[in-house]
Chains A and B, each alone.
Chain A
Amino acid sequence: ETGVTQSPTHLIKTRGQQVTLRCSSQSGHNTVSWYQQALGQGPQFIFQYYREEENGRGNFPPRFSGLQFPNYSSELNVNALELDDSALYLCASSFGGSSTDTQYFGPGTRLTVL
């Protein structure tokens, strides 16, 4: 157990809808990263938040957005869902925002878009 929790565990949406996924960081961690893992693939970096500011973004369109709250929990929002957004969404927390911190992953949210 890493102490990182995600909700919900599973979610089914239809194309065009919007979805919000949530992540609660490990105690004391101020950095959250989000990853998308399609079936049979490695996770792909979406973005990272450090002390409530986005400080890194991968190759994802603007309809993928996020928030980090003062308690360092985080949300991932996806608008105008597409079939290809079906994936396991993972969040990872760490302390310090540096490039050498160990990231601890949550169990993920499985999103299915029909």
Chain B
Amino acid sequence: KQEVTQIPAALSVPEGENLVLNCSFTDSAIYNLQWFRQDPGKGLTSLLLIQSSQREQTSGRLNASLDKSSGRSTLYIAASQPGDSATYLCAVRHVGGKLIFGQGTELSVKP
């Protein structure tokens, strides 16, 4: 059974700091991995999607990596800003098309 774990559960950093969010999964038979952002009480905004054949994806200040063999992904945020404060969720795409999510990392960037 696929399980997705995100560490840490919460993170508080000063503005301008570079940070890394971690995601691990137990079954490497995935189609892709996706990182989402969720603001309080809101829906999910897709940030980056990495197909199983890819190693990383970049968008602006965000960089996501994928190591299928070790069951790990990281989301790197450069030069963090208060507007980056949100919950970040990773999800793996499994057989049958469903997404299996981690519990999220709640990020707070202090001015």
Give A83-108 as 1s and 0s: 1 = Cβ < 8 Å from B's Cβ atoms: 00000101010000111111111111
Interchain CA distance A41-B102 in the complex, whole Å: 8
Interface status of A8 (Cβ within 8 A of chain B) = no
List 18 extra interface pairs beyond A43-B89, A56-B98, A105-B46, CB under 8 A. A33-B99, A35-B99, A40-B103, A42-B4, A42-B101, A42-B103, A45-B98, A45-B99, A58-B98, A99-B97, A100-B32, A100-B93, A103-B46, A103-B99, A105-B43, A105-B44, A106-B43, A107-B42
* A-side contacts of B89, CB under 8 Å: 42-43
Are A48 and B98 in contact, with the CB atoms below 8 A?
Answer: yes
* B-side contacts of A98, CB under 8 Å: 97
* A-side contacts of B98, CB under 8 Å: 33, 45, 48, 56, 58
Task: Sample 29 A-B pairs with CB under 8 A, ordered by A number.
Answer: A2-B43, A31-B97, A33-B98, A33-B99, A35-B101, A40-B103, A42-B89, A42-B101, A42-B103, A45-B98, A48-B97, A56-B96, A56-B98, A88-B41, A90-B43, A92-B44, A92-B99, A98-B97, A99-B31, A99-B94, A100-B31, A100-B32, A102-B49, A103-B34, A103-B46, A104-B46, A105-B36, A105-B43, A107-B42
B interface, by DSSP: helix, strand, loop or mixed?
strand
**Nearest B-chain residue to A43, judged by Cβ:** B101
* Nearest CB of chain A from residue B4's CB, rounded to whole Å: 7
Interface status of A110 (Cβ within 8 A of chain B) = yes
* Nearest CB of chain A from residue B41's CB, rounded to whole Å: 7
Number of A interface residues in the complex (CB < 8 A): 31
Interface, chain B (partner A; CB < 8 A): 4, 31-32, 34, 36, 41-46, 49, 51, 89, 91, 93-104
Q: A43-B99, A99-B31 are in contact. Are A108 and B42 (CB under 8 A)?
A: yes
Interchain CA distance A14-B99 in the complex, whole Å: 30
* Nearest CB of chain B from residue A80's CB, rounded to whole Å: 24
Interchain CA distance A41-B38 in the complex, whole Å: 12
Interchain CA distance A22-B31 in the complex, whole Å: 28
Neighbour of B102 across the interface among A42, A58, A106, CB < 8 A: A42
* A-side contacts of B102, CB under 8 Å: 42
